[in-house]
């Protein structure tokens, strides 16, 4: 018990000393206009780097991520099929897929899946 406490205290002490040395040695430069500007092969930028993007594209991307994660949650159900009760397995899988379909229809009704030109 005493040895583990000493090892943890030494680890904490060494880590603290290294962090202190890092803060003392590191030189924080004052940010200037050239360092904060976008780099385009040494030339002045032709246009603003902050261009607007389509909100519709963002919504489609978020919906894709949500359904992608839900598919990743379906994969363990396949692995546990042999170990679980068939009736409870079918009910859980059906309920999960039903929730996915209801979410898809909700997004469809809200018009989030329609691409506006």
Q: CA-to-CA distance for 68 and 53, rounded, in angstroms?
A: 22
Tokens 């202190």 locate to 20
Cβ neighbours of residue 63 closer than 8 Å, sequence gap 6 or more: 107, 112, 113
Please tell me the distance from the alpha carbon of residue 12 to that of residue 8, in angstroms, as a whole number: 6
Residue pLDDT tens, the chain, 117 long: 888 899 999 999 999 999 999 888 876 666 666 666 666 666 666 666 667 777 778 878 888 888 788 888 888 888 888 888 889 888 988 998 898 889 888 888 888 777 665
Every domain of the chain and the residues it spans: 55-110
């Amino acid at each position: 018990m005493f040895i583990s406490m000493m090892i943890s205290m030494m680890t904490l002490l060494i880590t603290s000393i290294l962090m202190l040395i890092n803060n003392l040695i590191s030189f924080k430069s004052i940010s200037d206009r050239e360092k904060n500007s976008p780099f385009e092969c040494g030339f002045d930028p032709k246009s603003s780097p902050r261009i607007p993007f389509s909100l519709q594209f963002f919504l489609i991307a978020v919906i894709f991520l949500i359904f992608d994660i839900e598919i990743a949650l379906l994969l363990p159900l396949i692995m546990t099929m042999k170990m679980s009760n068939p009736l409870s397995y079918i009910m859980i899988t059906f309920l999960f897929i039903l929730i996915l379909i209801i979410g898809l229809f909700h997004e469809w009704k809200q018009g989030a899946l329609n691409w506006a030109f």
